[in-house]
Amino acid sequence: MRATCFVLPVAAWLGLAGIVSAEDVGEATRVQRFAYQTPPQADKGPLYRLDPVVRNARLETVPSGALEVTFTDGSRLTLGSASSIVVDNYVFDSGQGGQTLKMTRGLFRFVSGSMPKDQVKLQTPTVTIGIRGTIVKTKVNDDGSGTIFFEHGSGNVQNDQGQNVPMNEGDMVKIDSNGGIGTPENKSWNAGDASVDYGIDPFGQNSHGPDGGTGGGDGAGSAGGGHNRD
């Protein structure tokens, strides 16, 4: 019996050590309802406000949930309802590095920080988004199709078939399930998710522009922007 009692705590300790040894790349600055993180080689667990976010982790939100992550370079990522993303790569030191975020499904808003812009890549299952001092909103459907909107700044969208489409401020473009990129239209576009369009804010203040995505709940299960907006 003693051997059994000893082995179980050691196994638990090893699992915890795997999480602790993972490299922190930012923190959860706002959580609405429930959000989860699955670190590499570790189990999925709840993500609370001010919890560290680690490299190579999968981040997820529940239906009607939302999550804001602030990375060490100051860039901010907001996940809307029922969304999933992988922090595929993140290295930042002395103003240099690289950042790759793989958006699996859902609704997202990304505000760039001090990471060199040519080293930032936002990927969907079908296309890659390049940025230049940018705020981008993205919708990714289950089949890989979606919508990309450059709220501020400029950049490009490219696929594996050789299409490389420049995007200017205010441009919206549709992506089909095969990665085909439509013709950009300079028109306003809302994701239809208050947390992505206005920020996670419990006080009814619509926060657009670079300050969008701030304010909100203190942890998984906390209120923070759960009211509906038209």
What pLDDT digit, counting tens, does each position of 45-60 carry? Answer: 999 999 999 999 999 9
The C-alpha atoms of residue 60 and residue 65 are separated, in whole angstroms, by 9
8 phi, psi to nearest 5 deg? -60, -50
Task: Read off the pLDDT of residues 108-130 as tens digits, 9 standing for 90 and up.
Answer: 999 999 999 999 999 999 999 99
Q: Find, among 168, 167, 170, the residue nearest to 156 by Cα.
A: 167
Contact 195, 66 (CB under 8 A): yes
Residues 6+ apart with CB under 8 A from 170: 150, 151, 186, 187, 188
Q: Which CATH class is domain 24-201?
A: mainly beta
Collapsing DSSP to helix, strand or coil, 155 comes out as strand
Tens digit of each residue's pLDDT (9 = 90 or more) over 194-214: 999 998 865 434 444 444 434
pLDDT tens for each residue of 34-47: 999 999 999 999 99
Mean of pLDDT values over 1-21: 43
Mean pLDDT (the chain, rounded): 84
